[in-house]
Each structure stands twice: as C-alpha cells, then as structure tokens.
C-alpha cells in the first residue's frame, strides 16, 4: 500500500512539474515538466530560468576588467596634487546628505517588499561581483537613465523611463553596470563629474562652495574628470557583462538606450554591424572633442554604438572568456 501511494504521488508530481533553482538568485521554482530553458521566469528575481551555470566571482579585483582607457585617464586625474581631498570637499559642501534626503522624499526606495524583483536583481549583481548592497531608488523621470552617487553611502538611482523600456535581463545589465561603478571605485569621481556636467550644461548655476569649483577648474581637474568619466563607462559595461554573462544582453540594452522609443523597430543584427563598422574607423585622439560636443549639446547618453563596439572587442580579445574560466 505504502509503495503504491508513493508511486501515485510521484506521478502526480511529474504531472505538476519539477523544481528548477534560479541560476541567478538561487530561488527554487516549480515549473511544468515540459518547461524549456529561458521560457519561464524566476518568481523572485523575474530573470529567465535555465539550468545553465551562472558564475559568481568570489575575489574579483577591478584590475581584472577595467578598460585601459579608464585606468589611464584616472591615473592622470589622480596625479593632480590634492585632487581627492578637493573633490571630497566639493561633494561635502554641495550636500551629499541633501541628495539622500531629496531621494527619500521624492523617489521610491527598493526593498525586499517594495519592487522585490528589482531588489533581487541588485542582490544578484552584488553577489556576482562581490560588492556590499547599496541603496536602490526608482525616480519618476522619462529620460532613460540610471546613475550611482553617494560617496559616504552609495546609492543607485534608476529612472522610471528606463524600467519601462527594458526587459528583466536588460534591467539586470543596467543595475550591474551601476554596481560596477561601486566595485571599480568610481563613485567619488563620477559624483564630481556629474556636478561639473550640470555646470557645463547650465542646469546648475549657483553652487555652494563655488570657490572650490574655481580651484578645481583652474587646476585642470574638471576637464581631466570629464575626460575620464566617459571612459569609466567602458569598464562598467564589462562589469555588466560579467553579471549577465551574455554579450547580446549588453548589446540589446545599448540598442534600446540608443534607439529610445524606436528600439522595437531597430534590427539588432544591423546594429551590431554598425558597431563593428564604428570600431574600424574609431580614432581615440578625436574622442575628447567629440565628448565635449555631446555634453554641450545636452545629451546624457554616451554613445551606445561606441560602447557596444568596445564590449564586442573585449569579448573577441579573450579576456572575458579567461575571467569566466577562472
């Protein structure tokens, strides 16, 4: 009797389905028996379920993935005497705590109970790269964007326009890119760069502590900082790839960032061709002038085509595969 009972319950279990552990967040999910990889999503992080392996990096150092253009530009910036102290002072007087208070007052804080799938994605990015969990906020803003700020206590902010546009894997890519900024120790410089950009664009005219700004500009720090900031994106796209572990997720995210509302009509293969073509004609020496024009034109998104071409090149170089095999 007992064995018969076991048989009937196991056959009904087969009819119900089986358990698949989410490769990203570890959650156990019960799926239909005829489930196929990628055709169902995890109940916790909402990322596609599959039995493929997802690598977590226990002791990743930034030197293993940062783009050489990032480290070179950052070294040049840090060679300016007193730069760290001056930038910390700048952020202090412009009010790091004010940013936090304004986020708490106007943006939605993501927690295990508030937008739990976003919280789970943040956890996936942090455990994959080995970073302590920062705070995460969603801000009502139609511009497709995300940023990381908070020198003392890191905060990632995702615009609502970004979340409306991207699917779950692409959202993970953006969160992972931002966590990459924390891992690569970019946040102090990025926060300062954003202040300078706001000044250059005229969206910020009166800043408390403008004496420090005068000093930073006269010491050449602001231009060194802006030159670096764009290159820092390349490192964090690599960090995003180390988390999504699929270059096409990065490519498609960039396509949506580049194509905006048109993205659904854009052919991804053609977009990749354009990125490869860009790489052939790419001239690093002209880049700073290019960036200056873009910033002056008030554009917030740095060159998705350039970024995709850089990611494809990193994959082709074999460095990504080496890290994955480590």
Q: What is the total residue count of the chain?
A: 326
Residue 70 vs 233, nearer CB to Zn ion: 233
Q: How far is the CB of 81 from Zn ion (least distance, A)?
A: 27
96, 170, 178, 310: the active-site residue: 178
- DSSP annotation of 286 reads G
| CA 237/CA 217 separation, integer angstroms | 29
Q: CB of 292: closest distance to Zn ion in angstroms?
A: 19
| Residue corresponding to tokens 């572990």 | 245
Asked whether 75 and 224 are in contact (CB, 8 A), the reply is no
> 40 CB contacts (<8 Å, ≥6 apart)?
20, 29, 31, 32, 48, 49
Nearest to 195 by CA among 177, 174, 210: 210
Active site residue 64: no
Q: Which of 8, 19, 20, 45 binds Zn ion (CB under 5 A)?
A: 45
Q: Which is nearer to Zn ion, 45 or 227 (CB)?
A: 45
Interface with Zn ion includes 44 (CB under 5 A)? yes
For Zn ion, the closer CB: 177 or 252: 177
263 lies in the binding site for Zn ion (CB under 5 A): no
- For the bound state, the minimum distance from the C-beta of residue 240 to Zn ion, rounded and expressed in Å, comes to 9
Residues with Cβ within 8 Å of 167's Cβ and at least 6 positions away in sequence, in order, are none
**Residue among 44 and 159 whose Cβ is closer to Zn ion:** 44
For residue 106, what are the contacts with CB-CB under 8 A and spacing of at least 6? 139, 140
Q: Tell me how far apart the alpha carbons of residues 202 and 120 are, in angstroms, rounded to a whole number.
A: 37
The tokens for 214 are 């005068």
Residues between 14 and 43 with contacts to Zn ion, criterion CB under 5 A: 22, 24-25, 27, 42
Nearest CB to Zn ion, comparing residues 28 and 214: 28
Build a one-symbol-per-residue string for 207-246: x at contacts with Zn ion by CB under 5 A, - elsewhere. Answer: --------------------------x--x----------
Residue 196 CB, shortest distance to Zn ion, in Å, is 15
Least spacing, CB of residue 69 vs Zn ion, in Å? 14
Contacts of 41 (CB under 8 A, 6+ apart): 47, 48, 49, 168
> Pick from 229, 204, 232, 214: which is nearest to 86 by CA?
214
Q: How many residues bind Zn ion (CB under 5 A)?
A: 9
Residues lying near Zn ion in the complex (CB under 5 A): 22, 24-25, 27, 42, 44-45, 233, 236
The residues carrying an active-site annotation are 178
């Amino acid at each position: 009797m007992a064995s018969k009972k076991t048989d009937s319950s196991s056959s009904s279990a087969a009819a119900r389905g089986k358990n698949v552990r989410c490769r990203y967040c570890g959650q156990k999910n019960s799926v239909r028996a005829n489930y196929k990889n990628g055709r169902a999503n995890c109940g916790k992080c909402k990322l596609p379920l599959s039995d493929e392996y997802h690598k977590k990096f226990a002791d990743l150092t930034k030197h293993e993935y940062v783009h050489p253009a990032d480290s070179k530009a950052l070294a040049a910036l840090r060679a300016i005497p007193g730069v760290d102290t001056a930038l910390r002072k700048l952020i202090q007087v412009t009010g790091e705590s004010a940013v936090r208070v304004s986020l708490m007052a106007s943006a939605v804080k993501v927690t295990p109970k508030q937008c739990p799938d976003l919280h789970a994605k943040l956890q996936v990015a942090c455990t994959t790269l080995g970073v302590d969990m920062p705070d995460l906020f969603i801000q009502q803003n139609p511009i497709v964007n995300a940023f990381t700020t908070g020198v003392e206590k890191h905060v990632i902010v995702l615009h609502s326009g970004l979340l409306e546009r991207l699917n779950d894997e692409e959202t993970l890519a953006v969160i992972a890119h931002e966590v990459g900024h924390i891992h690569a120790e970019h946040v102090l410089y990025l926060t300062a760069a954003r202040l300078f950009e706001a000044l250059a664009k005229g969206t910020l005219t009166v800043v408390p502590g403008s004496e420090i700004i005068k000093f930073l500009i006269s010491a050449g720090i602001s231009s060194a900082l802006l030159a670096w900031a764009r290159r820092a994106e390349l490192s964090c796209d690599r960090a995003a790839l180390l988390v999504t572990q699929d270059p096409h997720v990065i490519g498609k995210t960039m396509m949506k960032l580049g194509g905006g509302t048109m993205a659904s009509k854009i052919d991804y293969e053609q977009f990749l061709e354009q990125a490869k073509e860009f790489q052939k004609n790419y001239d690093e020496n002209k880049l700073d002038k290019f960036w200056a024009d873009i910033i002056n034109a008030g554009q917030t998104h740095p060159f998705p085509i350039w970024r995709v071409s850089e990611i494809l090149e990193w994959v082709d170089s074999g460095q990504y595969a080496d890290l994955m095999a480590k």
